[in-house]
Amino acid sequence: MKVPRVKPPRAAAEAAPTASVAAPAVAGTASFSKFMRVLDAIALGGDTAWTVNELSARLGYPRPTIYRIVEALIAEQMLVPKRNGQSFGLGPRLVSLASRALESSDIRQLCKDHLFDLRALTQETVHLAVPDRFEMTYIDKLESPKAVRMNSRLGSRVTLYSSSVGKAYLALLPLPERDAVIQALDFKVFTDATLRTPQALRHELEQVRRQGYAEDREENEKDIFCFGCAITDKQGAPVACASLSIPAFRMSANRTDSYIKPLVDTCAAISRKLALLDFSG
């Protein structure tokens, strides 16, 4: 399975004229896109229960269109009604499909033993994430055996600029691709420590390239510190990233030996395995 790669924004891709004739649109594509946008909005809302009016306002579709889409998705168990039928959440069929997709992920299976070893060594929460357009999506999570745990879950997304996995991934992209992605980012602020400008992100990515790992210093979630490192294919391109997440109150004074070295060594071992297996992202 090929791991999705971040692509430059559409504006950059369409800048150059082309002499080729565009292929006709596939029948039903527009309707399918609307269905996917509704599902995506509800999924990104987390525990938020969306109403037809809220979805219409967010997506810009007429209320009757949203209503028809929601009714069809409920019929297929992709959505379920909540709040006396006035709002909607993700349904069991969609959750089942997502779970099967995660279980069948090639990169997830290849990393599993290494990630279990990393958790055993560090006793902290381990995440595995892959690029998903302008975000990173968690496809595996191994909880810390300690009392305080992370709120993240499989399938949840984090930004490229506020997460250790995102910065580790961006740092290894070719410079033109990296710059195109950075220009497309919307720098939302999550905590006082969140990076807020492209310039600040570029400066940090140079440091990430030099040291071989990235840090999330309570930038994505207050009181949570993360270290992230890229996993590369046989060409040295980043295909996934692993991270360690630690509550700030129990951070070890010796971060290098406690977290950074085990993480970097784990990602290097996985990358060597991918090279031997001729895995390409």
- Domains for the chain: give ranges and CATH numbers: 27-95 (1.10.10.10), 105-276 (3.30.450.40)
How many whole angstroms separate alpha carbon 169 and alpha carbon 240?
7
- Distances from the Cα of 127 to the Cαs of 114, 146, 214, 235, 280, in angstroms? 12, 16, 14, 23, 21
Which two structure tokens, joined as six digits, stand for 243? 């991270």
Closest by Cα among 2, 274, 41 to 130: 2
Q: Is the pLDDT of residue 24 over 80?
A: no
What pLDDT does 36 receive?
87
Q: Is the pLDDT of residue 3 over 50?
A: no
CA atoms within 13 A on the CB side of 54: 11
* Average of per-residue pLDDT across 22-51: 72
Q: Is the pLDDT of residue 26 over 60?
A: no
Q: Please state, for a pLDDT cut of 90, what percent of the chain lies above it.
A: 54
Q: Which residues contact 119 (CB under 8 A, 6 or more apart)?
A: 125, 126, 142, 144, 145
* Average of per-residue pLDDT across 229-256: 94
pLDDT tens figures, 114-172: 999 999 999 999 999 999 888 999 999 999 998 766 677 778 889 999 999 999 999 99
The average confidence (pLDDT) of the chain is 84
| Higher-pLDDT residue of 228, 66 | 228
